[in-house]
Structure 1
Amino acid sequence: MSRRTPTVLVVAEEELTRERYRSALENSQYDVVATGVPDEVLATAKRASVAAVAGPVGNWAQRTLLQTLTERAPGCALVSLGREHPPTGPHDAHLEAPVAPDDLRATVEHLATRAAYFEQLDAFVAAARRAAGTDPGRLRRLRDEARQLQGSFDSTDFEAAFRLVDAV
């Protein structure tokens, strides 16, 4: 299985804000896409590993945007940027303004690693399902249990988990 380069989406209505966050991720191992256009946000989020959302876009409040991305791009982790308090809508991480570039990079790294882990886990489950082919309900339960356990992983644990899966 080949690994694709993770895409990170930076969402902000103001161009200076988009550019500041995009440039913080510029020299990373990600494809960084920055936009403030609602249709582009939705289209890009469907293929992104992480979306960093800084405030409202168009006529969407930040909370509405986070909820919409959760529904339409369930595989995309969400980082809420800029508010003093985390929004009540769904998000995986929150960074308070002013956002330090190192904090943004570390958060994106953690969530992109988690996304890669989920992608590999899904591929593993799909391969196991093809190999077993007899009890898809059991495999679904195993995948759900593995995802629940994933919540306790630190970003340094992902490589160990990959080696464990490869050893099985």
Structure 2
Amino acid sequence: MKRSTIDLWVGIFVALGIAAVVFLSLKVANLTPQSASQTYVVYADFDNVGGLKVKAPVKEAGVLVGRVSDIRLDPKTYRARVALNIDKTYQLSDDVSASILTSGLLGEQYIGLQQGGSETNLAPGGTITITSSALVLEQLIGKFMTGFAGKDASK
């Protein structure tokens, strides 16, 4: 084969490799484009969101049902207001509960949903009222250490 033909095939192979790396990087960072028309928004208020980030997964029974689309501080209640984009194929009951959980010991944080027993569904734009905030490792260690300090002082 001619040198120019080999150079062409090497160039095509390198371009495909770069495209594959970019695609996988976007998948890992949860930055792949998603259609907004197939989701509806519900809100949840938390006392502490810890390290929860926008685009974090929303899971129910371990199944991905949506993503976090926005995190803001509510100026009236001073609580974190989290907007969740839920896939339209999944309907949430109006007594669903939301918890901020961690994948593994030091993994990413996500929102776990637990369905309630109500027959009525949560309307788009509705608010999840039963929430459980994130456990912050530093706060747990602080409580653990001050617990030992209080026992030592009483002796």
TM-score band (shorter)?
under 0.3
Task: Work out which structure has the larger RCO, using CA pairs closer than 8 Å and 6 or more positions apart in sequence.
Answer: 2
User: Larger Rg: 1 or 2?
Assistant: 2
User: Greater helix percent: which structure?
Assistant: 1
Compute the TM-score of the two structures, normalised by the length of structure 1. Answer: 0.26
Compute the TM-score of the two structures, normalised by the length of structure 2. Answer: 0.27
